[in-house]
Amino acid sequence: MDRENQFVGESGAFLDAVEQASRAAPLDRPVLVIGERGTGKELIAERLHRLSRRWDGPLITLNCAALPETLIEAELFGHEAGAFTGATRARAGAFEEADGGTLFLDELATLSAAAQERLLRAVEYGEVSRIGSNTPINVDVRIVAATNENLPALVDREQFRADLLDRLSFEVITLPPLRVRERDILILADYFGRRMAVELDWPGWPGFGDRATDALEAHDWPGNVRELRNVVERAVYRWDAPNDPIDRIQLDPFDSPWAFPEPSAKSDEQQEETSGSAPAPAAPVTDDFKSAVEEYEKRLLETALERARFNQRQTAKALGLTYDQLRHALKRHELIG
């Protein structure tokens, strides 16, 4: 877990989830943490452990999706020497390592049917058996599990055991996605930006300009807090004027004029006709035709510049202009000095 992370935010939905975790922490019962990727499930698991009576015991994390099905049971329950090919010596599993503490099972929904059955017995009776052994080992472990899947729906489709879900769902904490934590977007952006500025030895924190702020607030954040952190840290380290507010945000790091084109049903001839053009921004709504045309042209130039990473020659090519024509347009709109 990234122990540098902290709970940052003040939206009601977020604080309710944190409070729910705080209330459940002292109880020695299983907890399920549900949420989209990047919402902070690992932080909630750590909070449940640190505020419990097991705080001085081990906190063992196992990502169930990171291991092939053939190894997940060995990682969970351990194995004896010779239990399978490559098992040259006995090894304790995650349950034994977490004895007296907390076992955090991330990506729970990816567990195989066999692993679910063994997990059910471990939760029900507090004992595990290593692969290759019939001798049960008593363990004192609290289970915290996390997933971004709809477990009741998986039960209905017979892809997850109903009895295991019953055992693990004493408390279910559902984390809100960042898009509903509107007040927290700029708070988190400021927090991650300040940390990155310190890491880069900037003299201070200049904050974000209006254009960057608008971009941050308008984005849907499908990757939630993890995506926001990457976007902000990338924007800070690319900014070359530490004393000026950051006003350039790249939401998609793969966006590039040299990126691989997406598959399209268009013919080769149609693709050649459109490949040199940049997508035009939406036209502003106004009753002043001249001002609308000027504003539209300026936004078109800004969009093309950003897509070409402010390479003016590439921008001119994308817009079908000569270099001199582009320079003239940029000066007219005061986009360059």
- Evaluate if residue 77 carries a pLDDT over 60: yes
> pLDDT category, 274, cuts 50, 70, 90?
very low
Q: How much is the mean pLDDT over the chain?
A: 88
Structural contact between residues 237 and 196, judged by C-beta atoms closer than 8 angstroms = yes
**Which of 2-16, 108-122, 253-267 is modeled with the greatest confidence?**
108-122
pLDDT of 280 reads: 56
Higher pLDDT, 328 or 101: 101
The model's pLDDT over 144-178, given as tens digits with 9 standing for 90+, comes to 999 999 999 999 999 999 999 999 999 999 999 99
Please state, in angstroms and rounded to a whole number, the distance separating the CA atoms of residues 224 and 218.
Answer: 13
- Evaluate if residue 12 carries a pLDDT over 90: yes
Write down all domains in the chain, each with its CATH number in brackets.
12-176 (3.40.50.300), 182-238 (1.10.8.60), 275-332 (1.10.10)
pLDDT of 1 reads: 40
pLDDT of 304 reads: 84
131 pairs with which residues across the strands? Answer: 79
Structural contact between residues 133 and 124, judged by C-beta atoms closer than 8 angstroms = no
pTM of the model: 0.74
Query: Of the ranges 169-173, 293-297, 333-337, which one carries the lowest mean pLDDT score?
Result: 333-337
- Evaluate if residue 96 carries a pLDDT over 50: yes
Q: β-strand 142-147 against 102-106: which pairing, if any? A: parallel
> pLDDT category, 286, cuts 50, 70, 90?
low
21: left (phi over 0), alpha (psi -120 to 50) or beta: alpha
pLDDT of 5 reads: 54
**Which of 109-113, 114-118, 229-233 is modeled with the greatest confidence?**
229-233
Structural contact between residues 75 and 67, judged by C-beta atoms closer than 8 angstroms = yes
Structure tokens at 195: 């940390």
**Which of 214-218, 289-293, 314-318 is modeled with the greatest confidence?**
214-218
